[in-house]
C-alpha cells in the first residue's frame, strides 16, 4: 500500500511540476511536461520530500545534477541553467506544498 501511495504522490508531483515549471530558451517557455522532463525531476526531488525540510540549496543541487542533452546530444547542460529564477522559486513552493500534505 505504501508503494501505491508513493506512486500516486510521484505522479501528482510530476503533473504539478510539468504544468508549472518551464525551461526558457530565447524567451520561449517549454514546460517540463512537454519536454518529458517532469517525471525525472519529480523522481529526483522525491527524496527531499521525505527529509526534514525542503531546502532551496538542496533543490539547487538536484537541479544542477540533472543533465539535459541539447543539439541532438552534442552538448549537455544542467537543468538549473535552463530554468528562470521564478521557476526555481515555484518549484520549491510546490515541493513544500507536497511535503506538508504527506
pLDDT digits (tens, 9 = 90+) for 12-34: 999 999 999 999 999 999 999 99
In this prediction, residue 31 carries a pLDDT of 98
Q: Is the pLDDT of residue 1 over 60?
A: no
- Do residues 88 and 59 make contact, with C-beta atoms less than 8 angstroms apart? yes
- Do residues 37 and 21 make contact, with C-beta atoms less than 8 angstroms apart? no
CA distance 26 to 7: 35
* Percent share of the chain, pLDDT over 90: 85
- Do residues 45 and 95 make contact, with C-beta atoms less than 8 angstroms apart? yes
* pTM of the predicted protein model: 0.90
H/E run at residue 79: none
Residue 51 pLDDT level (bands cut at 50, 70, 90)? confident
In this prediction, residue 101 carries a pLDDT of 86
Mean pLDDT of 78-99: 96
CA distance 83 to 80: 5
CA distance 38 to 32: 5
Mean pLDDT of 52-56: 85
Amino acid at each position: 500500500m505504501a508503494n501505491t501511495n508513493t506512486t500516486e504522490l510521484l505522479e501528482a508531483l510530476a503533473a504539478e511540476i510539468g504544468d508549472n515549471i518551464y525551461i526558457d530558451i530565447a524567451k520561449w517557455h517549454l514546460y517540463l511536461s512537454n519536454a518529458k522532463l517532469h517525471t525525472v525531476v519529480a523522481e529526483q526531488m522525491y527524496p527531499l520530500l521525505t527529509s526534514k525540510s525542503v531546502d532551496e540549496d538542496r533543490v539547487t543541487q538536484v537541479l544542477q545534477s540533472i543533465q539535459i542533452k541539447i543539439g541532438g546530444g552534442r552538448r549537455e547542460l544542467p537543468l538549473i541553467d535552463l530554468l528562470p529564477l521564478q521557476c526555481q522559486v515555484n518549484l520549491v513552493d510546490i515541493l513544500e506544498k507536497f511535503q506538508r500534505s504527506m
